[in-house]
Amino acid sequence: MSTIQKNKLSLTGNQAAAEAMRQIDPDVVAAYPITPQTEIVMAFSQFHADGKVNTEMIRVESEHSAMSACIGSASAGARTMTATSSQGLALMHEMVFIAASLRLPIVMPVVNRALSGPINIHCDHSDTMAERDSGWIQIFAENPQEVYDHMFLAMKLAEHPDVQLPVMVNQDGFITSHGVEIVDVLEDKAVKDFVGEYKPKTPLLDLKHPVTMGALDLYDYYFEHKRQQAEAVKRAFGLFDKVAGDVSKLTGRKYPMVETYQFDDADYVIVTMSSAAGTTKFVIDSLRAQGTKVGLLKIRLFRPFPYKIISGLLKGKKGVAVLDRSASFGAFSPVYTEIMNSCYYLDARPNIYPVVFGLGGRDLTPKLIESVYTGLIGNKFKTDQIEYLGVRE
């Protein structure tokens, strides 16, 4: 357990992200406000106005410009952060791929919100799932405490000399971003000592060691550069537990790639991410009190995806429902697809069922989660048919 003194503060998920950014005190923050992320930029901007950070704050005219400015500052060798949501992330799409391809350790809290249309400002994961193959590391937080701690995990992992990749720290819009909870906040000095001074690997401003970035890269070398990028993501996977262990020493809280709850003896399991896990835990406790053996598998690290860990955990279970807060039209949803890939070669492969829930912020109630466990136990679902949870048919 950590012996570092902590202050207990009442914070929203957005405020927790902004507080972590203040303590990290990056060289550059380039950002544009968008609901429900605005509070992060607003709070950090206030820290900047009050002289509590030494950051160069760049207020740009769009999210595309925000990521463009981040790419410029990170390429120059500056520790760089931003934040966005939904349509803002979609507008960044071109530059998000470039940031990963240039191996720039930018950290970006993403407040998950449905993509238009129709216009919707509430939570689902369609925004960040649209970027899942961009080359960014993606970490998902259940509550404001995890948002706060994951920011330090993201920074250390992104800047590791063997990784050098950008990281998204995801939280559910309005549910987590605007929900107030008690958060253990570390001393400023403890955070500064932990993140340390950033030492860029190949900064453009190092004139003694010139490099080229963003050059034209045709069929002669493009394939090799993509292969190198894939290896960097693989190294990030290998280093995640070590970096998470370092964060655990700092905070006293453990953050494995995959977290389980009442799992070992569970016959029937729900797999999900983010705030839905908290409601699922509540339902599990209620059903366990009635003697029903149910459990939860919560995914924290979605990219790179922990295939072998998940397959080892799900082996032998009687039934698994994968709850996705996004839909892939004409295909199964993203988390379900990855879970199926994980378990494909298992001899004792459980029945795995796709469930889509919460699109556009539709509430996930305990009653709905209980209905999923009831469906698993009663063998009411079909493996080749998506169950749309809580939708009017």
96, 120, 97, 93: which is closest to 34 by C-alpha? 120
Q: 222-251 and 188-195 are packed helices; what angle lies between their axes, rounded to 10 degrees?
A: 150
What residue has token string 């206030």? 46
Task: Provide the pLDDT confidence category of residue 3 given band limits of 50, 70 and 90.
Answer: low
256-314 pLDDT, tens digit per residue, is 999 999 999 999 999 999 999 999 999 999 999 999 999 999 999 999 999 999 999 99
> What b/e readout covers 350-363, taking b as 16+ CB neighbours within 10 angstroms?
bebbbbbbbbbbbe
Omega before 118 within 30 of 0, i.e. cis:
yes
pLDDT for residue 6:
79
Report the largest interatomic distance among the alpha carbons of the chain, rounded to a whole angstrom.
69
167-172 vs 107-112, strand pairing mode: parallel
Say whether pLDDT at 351 is over 70.
Answer: yes
110, 231, 210, 112: which is closest to 165 by C-alpha? 231
pLDDT for residue 53:
98
18-115-122 Cα angle (round to 5): 60
Domain boundary assignment for the chain:
6-251, 258-389
Say whether pLDDT at 1 is over 60.
Answer: no
- Write the class of the CATH domain 6-251: alpha beta
Say whether pLDDT at 4 is over 90.
Answer: no
Average pLDDT along the chain: 97
Q: Kindly report whether the global pTM for this prediction surpasses the value 0.95.
A: yes
Mapped to the 3 state alphabet, what secondary structure does 9-50 carry?
A: EEECHHHHHHHHHHHHCCCEEEECCCCCCHHHHHHHHHHHHC
pLDDT for residue 198:
96
137-155 pLDDT, tens digit per residue, is 999 999 999 999 999 999 9
Task: Provide the pLDDT confidence category of residue 393 given band limits of 50, 70 and 90.
Answer: confident
The partner residues of 170 in beta bridges, in order of sequence, read 110, 140
What residue has token string 């697809």? 337
Query: Mean per-residue pLDDT for 89-94?
Result: 98
139, 239, 246, 146: which is closest to 191 by C-alpha? 246
What residue has token string 């934040």? 83
- For the residues of 224-250, what is the DSSP string, one character each? HHHHHHHHHHHHHHHHHHHHHHHHHHH
pLDDT for residue 70:
98
pLDDT for residue 2:
59
Is CATH 3.40.50.920 the classification given to domain 258-389? yes
- Are domains 6-251 and 258-389 of this chain identical in fold? yes
pLDDT for residue 128:
98
